[in-house]
Amino acid sequence: GAVVSQHPSRVICKSGTSVKIECRSLDFQATTMFWYRQFPKQSLMLMATSNEGSKATYEQGVEKDKFLINHASLTLSTLTVTSAHPEDSSFYICSASASAPQGDTQYFGPGTRLTVL
Amino acid sequence: AQSVSQHNHHVILSEAASLELGCNYSYGGTVNLFWYVQYPGQHLQLLLKYFSGDPLVKGIKGFEAEFIKSKFSFNLRKPSVQWSDTAEYFCAVNNYNQGGKLIFGQGTELSVKP
């Protein structure tokens, strides 16, 4: 099956620093990647959708200058949390879709737990 | 706005009991429907999906789901659960008019007692 990896799996940083999270599709080319945030005991909240080679589309209420997304290739997307604060602590999950997003399945990465001190 | 509702937040069953988890969505257009499972400490895995055709969909590990368009429902079923089915289950919907974005339900935590 399609495999998506994320790195790092866990990161702890000081308030005010920036953190980069990588999402890779290992055995397929991902035209579209999605970034989610999951709070404890809650569902996934979509943050943004990124298509290879174009700017990400952010959901309402998500600050694009704080959560920088780059989808430079068909197998890699990155999420950078800039000037992180404790309220940004969360579980960040990416997913990847092999073709046009309509009608395709998303495959999820294992997630990255971010803790901001 | 489109939404997905899962009726049960926490379900507790004994092994061999039958399972049915409810899922309803609000969108009336063409949709694709999914059930994902998240085992403790692991990432989301696809259980099954419905795009078109037979509304009764069979997935992995003995799970199945039935799409009832008139009820906007996509309930998940398993005739006999096992302790290893203990996990969080998420229903999700995407539709063509929103760029294929997945809208997730709140999730249902299933605890199976051995």
User: Would you list the DSSP string of A26-64?
Assistant: SSS--SEEEEEEE-TTS-EEEEEEEETTS--EEPTT--T
Task: Determine contact: A111 vs chain B, CB below 8 A.
Answer: yes
| Whole-number pLDDT of residue A52 | 82
Does A57 have pLDDT greater than 50? yes
* Distance between A101 CA and the closest CA of chain B, angstroms: 5
Are B73 and B103 within 8 A, CB to CB? no
Contact state of B44 with A42 under an 8 Å Cβ cutoff = no
CB B92 within 8 A of CB B33: yes
CB pairs under 8 A between A and B: 53
Q: State the DSSP H helix or E strand holding residue A77, giving kind and residue range, or none if neither.
A: strand A76-81
Summarised one tens digit per residue, pLDDT across range B34-85 is 999 999 888 899 999 998 899 999 999 999 999 999 999 999 999 999 999 9
Structure tokens given for B48: 């099954």
Contact call for B101 and A44, based on CB within 8 A: no
Average pLDDT over residues B81-106: 87
Q: Is residue B24 a contact partner of residue B72, using CB atoms and an 8 Å limit?
A: yes
